[in-house]
Amino acid sequence: MRRRAALVAGLLAAAVAALVAASATSAAGTTPHGIFVKPEISTPQYLTPGAVHFGCQSRPIDGSKGPRCYQPAQIQTAYGYSGLLASGVNGSGRTIVIVDAYSNPYIPQDLQIQDQTFGLPAANYTTVAPQGVPTFDPSDPNQVGWAEEITLDVLWAHAMAPAANIVLVEAKSNQDADILAATKYAVDNNLGDVISQSFGEAETCVDPTILTQEHTVFGNATDKGMTLFASSGDSGSSQFSCDGNSAILAASSPASDPYVTGVGGTTLNANDPDGAYIGETAWTEPLFGCNPPAIDPNDVNCSGGGYSTIYSRPSWQASMVKGGQPHPGRGVPDVAYDAGVNGGVLTHCSVCNLLFGLPTNAAVFFIFGGTSAGSPQWAALAADADQIAGHRIGNINQSLYQLAQAPPKYSADFHDVTTGNNDVVEINNQGYNAGTGWDAVTGLGTPNAANLLPALAKKN
């Protein structure tokens, strides 16, 4: 287990001072600001009669016949986890904490149907709501978006660490302060080994007081040996402006914090039906509208990434992360994972059923996409690595970059994603290109768990 260095790459004093001066923080407290989530989801998908197979699994990856989909065994194989799973590496004895807002009363049902359909063991799942949460309101789009996110996070963390405990920590609202309070509760009470955060916003829109408190909480988590993940966003090099009405060039928080491993997105091409890995490109979704701000029909969803204007570039990024002028700060993301709705993951979603006028327990599934799919699955893989190591592996960022600097190890541990970009129309096509090594679209690439997890267990 590696304890944190003193403020690995702490808040830049000048940047924070500028943010404080520009913010609307009053003497009474912090400026309220909410985080909204809305996973990209397909129309209902149905099983092929007489087989555990969906028609979407056989579609071409170019999207010409609709979105391709994958079930858990295919993702396990594509990312090199199936052999480890067969050998008993399943997250046993480890706990994954998932932080989300509001609630989803249908998670036990979704887990049961998902597990029965795909042959997964029953999940060890609990919910904690330290502040209390409002009763789920299916007529509230904000709550529905978070409920869908909870479904994706819980079910797919379970798929990649089937024996791990999963603790969902629910914030009472989507306000920054409430989400931070939920995260702090998880850290202060040492609820688990790994924390997944499938949400984010422009780092410059976070109240400076909240940002500083968050950084402290993440440092405390690292001191306890926890591993932190966050999705890098679904809007390419942009994020919503602070008023939510436009797009701005920005890195996403909390993924940009150096204590956190930021997870970007790819479009995965894996074989049907066995899931054998074929290849990946940077995630650019041609089938659905862009977010933010969904005002240009030519926009596409794509992997979040860029350079922080808050955090300096950590020493462990110095040799691989280039660019970012005039803000040569921390590069985001660190790694990537399958994120396309075209090439997305099959998920039973009772809340989604409601939206389509179906019974909540109807045996239909939905294809989910977005970088929010990657954070819980990377968290699950970290729990698997904890099991291999026999202890918490803690902050893995330095180890990831060290492994990537050795060419033989890099090619064995990662799939380097070298094609695609995350350009955004609304900000004059600003963005970044994928390329060899680290890039501000897919980071170091996606995992080959068979090699990477034992390597991380050994190094941390």
Per-residue pLDDT tens over the stretch 8-35: 333 333 333 333 333 333 333 567 788 9
Cα 323 to Cα 325: distance, rounded to the nearest angstrom: 6
Q: Report DSSP state, residue 100.
A: E
124-128 and 165-171: which strand pairing? parallel
For 192-236, write each residue's pLDDT tens digit.
999 999 999 999 999 999 999 999 999 999 999 999 999 999 999
Closest-CA residue to 157 (of 142, 144, 147, 167): 167
Structural domains in the chain, CATH included, are 42-459 (3.40.50.200)
For 158-201, write each residue's pLDDT tens digit.
999 999 999 999 999 999 999 999 999 999 999 999 999 999 99
Distance of CA 339 to the CA centre of its chain: 9
Q: Are 344 and 338 in contact (CB under 8 A)?
A: yes
For 281-323, write each residue's pLDDT tens digit.
999 876 554 555 555 555 568 999 999 999 999 999 999 999 8
For 240-279, write each residue's pLDDT tens digit.
899 888 899 999 999 999 999 999 999 999 999 999 999 9
pLDDT at residue number 298:
56
Look up residue 424 and give its two tokens.
Answer: 């955004």
Look up residue 379 and give its two tokens.
Answer: 């968290």
Q: Are 170 and 103 in contact (CB under 8 A)?
A: yes
Kindly report the average pLDDT of the chain as a whole number.
90
> Which of 43-52, 212-221, 315-324, 339-348 is least confident?
43-52
Calculate what percentage of the chain has a pLDDT beyond 70: 90
Look up residue 342 and give its two tokens.
Answer: 């075209």
CA angle 322, 324, 326 (to 5 degrees): 130
Closest-CA residue to 95 (of 225, 199, 243): 225
Cα 401 to Cα 392: distance, rounded to the nearest angstrom: 19
Q: How large is the average pLDDT for residues 352-369? A: 96
Q: What is the CA radius of gyration of the chain?
A: 20
pLDDT at residue number 182:
98
| DSSP for 305-368, written as a single string | -EEEEEEEPPGGGTTT----TT--EEEE-SEEEE--STTEEEE--HHHHHHTT--TT-S-BEEE
Whether residue 1 has pLDDT greater than 70: no
This prediction has a pTM of 0.93
pLDDT at residue number 5:
34
Closest-CA residue to 146 (of 377, 351, 353): 351
344-347 and 69-70: which strand pairing? parallel
Phi, psi (5° rounding) for residue 253? -105, 135
